């Protein structure tokens, strides 16, 4: 049986990386951390392999944390289980205006 899996790398992360094919709206995904603890999440939207899922509700302007580091800020409200990408994330890396 295939596991629909996402990995949370750092304890402070509020997103995890999907390591499953065809993760679709309404499906369940198992989020595992480095301690081996896991949590099941209901997926909101379709999320491609290698992309991010929100581990909690994230308010507009809040930092998106991956690998324990900020990778940007939420450009709008993001629900737990939702796809996190350029449509709801303003990257703060390589912009040149900061």
Rounded Cα gap, residues 91 and 32, in angstroms: 25
In terms of DSSP bridges, do strands 69-74 and 63-66 run parallel, antiparallel, or are they unpaired? antiparallel
Token output for 19: 């390591």
pLDDT tens-digit map of 4-58: 999 999 999 999 999 998 899 999 999 999 999 999 999 999 999 999 999 999 9
The answer to whether residue 72 is domain-embedded is yes
pLDDT tens-digit map of 65-81: 999 999 999 999 999 99
Rounded Cα gap, residues 56 and 44, in angstroms: 12
Output the domain CATH number for residue 48: 2.30.130.110
The answer to whether residue 97 is domain-embedded is no
Q: What is the largest CA-CA distance in the chain?
A: 48
Domains of the chain: total: 1
The answer to whether residue 96 is domain-embedded is no
**Range(s) of the domain holding residue 40:** 5-91
């Amino acid at each position: 049986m295939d596991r629909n899996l996402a990995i949370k790398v750092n304890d402070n992360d509020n997103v995890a990386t999907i390591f499953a094919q065809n993760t679709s709206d309404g499906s369940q995904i198992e989020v595992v951390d480095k301690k081996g603890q896991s949590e099941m999440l209901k997926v909101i939207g379709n999320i491609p392999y290698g992309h991010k899922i929100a581990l909690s509700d994230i308010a507009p302007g809040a930092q998106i944390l991956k690998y324990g580091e900020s990778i940007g800020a939420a450009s709008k409200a993001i629900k737990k289980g939702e796809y996190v990408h350029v449509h709801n994330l303003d990257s703060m890396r390589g912009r040149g205006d900061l």
